[in-house]
Amino acid sequence: MAEEQKGKAKAEQAKGKAKETIGRAVGNERLTAEGKAEQSKGDARQAKEKTKDVFKH
């Protein structure tokens, strides 16, 4: 389960980065903001999983 969540976090970060990059390229501030938000969500999910790993071991 933890590996699945880590994979989701990485995918969310990558998707967010792509949205942010595209948003900047076309000058769409909303898309850029959505991308940053997705990256942050992925970062938070990844941090949560790392914390869970620390307490498992």
10-56 pLDDT tens trace: 999 999 999 999 999 999 999 999 999 999 999 999 999 889 888 88
**pLDDT at residue 1 above 90?**
no
| Contacts with 40 (C-beta within 8 Å, 6 or more apart), sequence order | 16
**Helix, strand or coil for residue 28?**
coil
pLDDT for res 2 = 73
| Contacts with 16 (C-beta within 8 Å, 6 or more apart), sequence order | 34, 35, 36, 37, 38, 39, 40, 41, 42
pLDDT for res 55 = 86
18: Cα within 13 Å, side-chain hemisphere: 6
pLDDT for res 24 = 97
